Amino acid sequence: MLKNYKNKWKIPSDSQQFERAIEIRDTLQRLGSIDSGKKMEDAKKSDEEYFGIRYGKQDAIVMTFRQTHGVIRDSEKFSFDLIGDNNFTNFLYQYYTTHQIPKTIVTSEEIEEKQSLADALTDRAGFSVKIIVGVKGKRKEMIELILRNLDLIQDKNAEPGLVELRDILKLPSIPRIIECFDISNHGDEYAVGSMARFVDGKPDKSGYRKFKIKTISGRDDFAMINEIVGRRYWRLRKEKSEFPDLIVIDGGKGQLTAALSALKDVGIETPCVSLAKENEEVFIPKRTKSIRIAKNKDSIKILQHIRDETHRFGVAYNRSLRKFD
């Protein structure tokens, strides 16, 4: 019952999570009017089950709320690996081999082969089963509640600074994988590119990459950034390799613009920002003004760490080339 679910709810200690938990609690209390006999939905829609899903890199988390006769009776959480033909549709099909089938299934997103699944469940249940996306009214509110709950679960297991980055930069997901690019110049002859890769807020040195500049002569940082970013992600696309959650460029607005041009040519929409060292300003696409993150925040420390690592790696590579030339 809803009451039992409330009793299981624990408020996280982190201040941002605390605020989100309070929001979820208030929604639960508002929806709790169901228990006191007030209508949540038309009686014809009383037997429904709600499903929200959040995706990780290799798995997905699903949470359900079941409503029977207008009352939220149960909530469950599941996870599955995104391998083979595992997807949301197959999860729902398997789920209803062991759970009672409701008249209406409300999901957080459109699913593949929706009508085929609805027909299969209709045959199994002996009555018409509908599958719809929760985009209006109380259904939308229930789905949003589930998704906020799933966000808290993901946040709890993530590096706090990465959660901060997602919220400050308004990223679509926690940036567990970040790649950063820099150009290292020594006169007009020696120019190289470097890339550092962080996973879960820590250096992944096996993923570091260095680049000899191939198409640019003289000192043109913007064009060089465009070249190395393009080379990196054309290759990942060709190899069908995993893309990062966030791309960081060492530099200002000009370097960011050059990187965005390369990403557009490759045809990917991975979030990309730049970090200018002079005032530690973060430049974000489509924003005229940069932002400054408080220096005591974990999020800026992560950005500074990967930027400094990329710079160090590039300087070392440049020095080694000059040494053996």
Query: In Å, how far from its chain's centre is CA 103?
Result: 32
3-state secondary structure of 195: strand
Contact 195, 180 (CB under 8 A): yes
Task: Kindly report the backbone phi and psi dihedral angles of residue 271, in degrees, each rounded to the nearest multiple of 5, phi listed first.
Answer: -55, 140
Whole-Å CA distances, 294 to 252, 280, 285 = 18, 10, 20
Per-residue pLDDT, 102:
93
What would the two tokens of residue 211 be?
Answer: 């680049």
Rounded CA-CA distance 240/236 in Å is 6
Amino acid occupying residue 88? F
**Residue with token string 């999570």:** 17
As a whole number, the mean pLDDT across the chain is 85
We find that the CATH architecture of domain 166-323 is 2-Layer Sandwich (3.30)
Amino acid occupying residue 221? D
Whole-Å CA distances, 71 to 7, 31, 61, 111, 219 = 16, 9, 24, 26, 68
- Beta-carbon count within 10 A of 243 CB: 16
Per-residue pLDDT, 319:
84
- How big is the chain by its Cα radius of gyration, in Å? 24
Per-residue pLDDT, 219:
80
Q: Beta strand 209-212 with 202-203: parallel, antiparallel or unpaired?
A: unpaired
Nearest CA to 100 out of 121, 69, 128 is that of: 121
Assign domain 2-157 one CATH number from 3.30.160, 1.10.150, 3.30.420, 3.40.50: 3.30.420
| 184: β partners | 192
3-state secondary structure of 48: strand
Left (φ > 0), alpha (ψ -120 to 50) or beta: where does 69 sit?
left
- Listed as ranges, residues in the chain with pLDDT below 70 are 1-46, 186-189, 322-325
Q: Do domains 2-157 and 166-323 have the same CATH topology?
A: yes
Domain residue extents for the chain: 2-157, 166-323
Per-residue pLDDT, 188:
64
Amino acid occupying residue 49? E
Per-residue pLDDT, 159:
87
